[in-house]
A and B are shown apart, each in its own frame.
Chain A
């Protein structure tokens, strides 16, 4: 395993991954290597498996065939602290205050029986959580419950909650899908800032192409290359375009490598941004 990793230098290796539910093939023959610190955005039409792929990375589901290696080791087949996640909804705990939502991540791993810290270590955890909340701009709302926050604030909280774990991989499942455009822009700035600071490996599912291109350092386009009209479930989606957007030649590379229909949509979105 280790020599392979040395050869490819990849942080995450996806090897011939298939996912099917019964006869329905959702993903087929996925192969890719992802370097540490990459910001991958997963775009594509709805129902083409990008969220399924995210669930595979999260360990919520296992691939039907093939394997995913994280740092040369097969992924744990259940969610754990190495991978943080933010969902579109239900990412924060409604019964905990903002502060406790974040401090929870420091308490759970250290208290396997009580699930909570006491005394000094509890104060330390809360102190750390406060700093993290300051970073995402929530230090004015420490004692509020999530239901008292706006949608954007809740997602800020969810991001703080995921980052306090210092995960190696951050998975975002349409995290800004339910937010207003203005708020969404603020969230983009925040996310990029945190990504540059932590150098996390990020996977973000989005149905918004311009969001995918403006945030990502690498865009993975999911699509079904083969469709059998008599058996819609027979073939799954693959990554049809894998576009690196490293600084300097972001837009041209993107525009050149995109197929005409996608590029048209992208151009408008890009110019609009």
Chain B
């Protein structure tokens, strides 16, 4: 049978999904054990025991100086920044995208502007943000907002343009004005797309968050990673990276479930 016609069975699929993770894990453990055997103080590839000790110290023991549980403090700060940034960007992107994609008079000035703005590398203007908004929370949130709003707006503008003109005309023959047409037709049709776009920009949002925290912060997951880098504390960095990955994956999964739950019509309507 040709390769293109062969698919794994149900169990086989699961096994194949686990396989690369298991291989990577085994590779890591083997090398870690090898290095630690040669030098018990090696920091580069800590064992799972060392990592769990680090997690124990950061997550379940109060900090000696502040009395905070640093791991959870970092997580809460980072998620707050990320959530605020994503929420503001989602609202702004939706408004811009709907206005530019639905109303030609708004699209004419907005569309080229959004396109050009989306080409500005957000990290390049991070210093400007620090100068303008200070080193507080605002500049970190703004980096996320500025980084992903143009992407969301461009995507939603495109999707708004893809709504068949027949539907817009039909809505007008049913007595819609511009506002109610947007409210009852355009917005509901774009909401599932907004959630999908948010999933796609999630990676960028984390990137901007970690970058901002690494440069100017006193807490946060990105701050901690860059702080302990000075001591080459891989036993902290690796669990933190794994934790960020888990958080990102969980957010992606939740958004996916939310899309299916809130917009059950969306799957079928694409056909």
Contact = CB atoms under 8 A, between A and B. Distances in A.
Contacts of A162: 173
Most chain A CB neighbours (cut-off 10 Å) among B177, B179, B184: B184
Interface residues of A, number: 37
B261 to A, nearest CB: 14
A146 B170 CA distance: 15
Contact of B179 (A83, A90, A112, A116): A112
Contacts of B166: 87, 89-91
B171 interface: yes
Contact of A165 (B164, B175, B180): B175
B109 interface: no
A90 B165 CA distance: 9
A81 B86 CA distance: 40
Contact of A94 (B171, B183, B269): B269
Given A85-B169, A93-B185, A95-B269, A145 B174 contact: no
A94 B171 CA distance: 13
B189 A94 contact: yes
Contacts of A58: 169, 173
Interface string A162-182: 100101000000000000000
Contacts of B88: none
B265 A105 contact: no
A85 B265 contact: no
Q: Give the interface size bracket for B toward A.
A: 20 to 34
Interface in A65-99: 78-81, 83-85, 87, 89-96
A161 interface: yes
B136 interface: no
Interface string A112-145: 1111100000000000000000000000000001
Contacts of B271: 147
Contacts, number: 90
Given A145-B264, A145-B265, A147-B265, A85 B170 contact: yes
B38 to A, nearest CB: 63
Contact of B176 (A85, A108, A114): A108
A16 interface: no
Contact of A109 (B169, B170, B175, B189): B175
Given A115-B183, A147-B265, A147-B268, A93 B175 contact: no
Nearest to A60: B169
A111 interface: yes
Contacts of B189: 94-95
B180 A80 contact: no
B174 A165 contact: yes
A90 B166 CA distance: 6
A115 B269 contact: no
Contacts of B169: 58, 60, 79, 85
B172 A115 contact: no
Contacts of B172: 78-80
B96 to A, nearest CB: 21
B156 to A, nearest CB: 15
Nearest to A82: B173
A222 to B, nearest CB: 21
B134 interface: no
Contacts of B104: none
A58 B170 CA distance: 10
22 contacts: A58-B173, A79-B169, A79-B173, A80-B172, A81-B174, A87-B166, A89-B166, A90-B166, A91-B170, A93-B170, A93-B171, A94-B265, A94-B269, A96-B265, A105-B174, A107-B184, A108-B171, A114-B180, A115-B183, A145-B268, A148-B268, A161-B174
Interface of B: 164, 166-167, 169-177, 179-180, 183-185, 188-189, 263-266, 268-269, 271
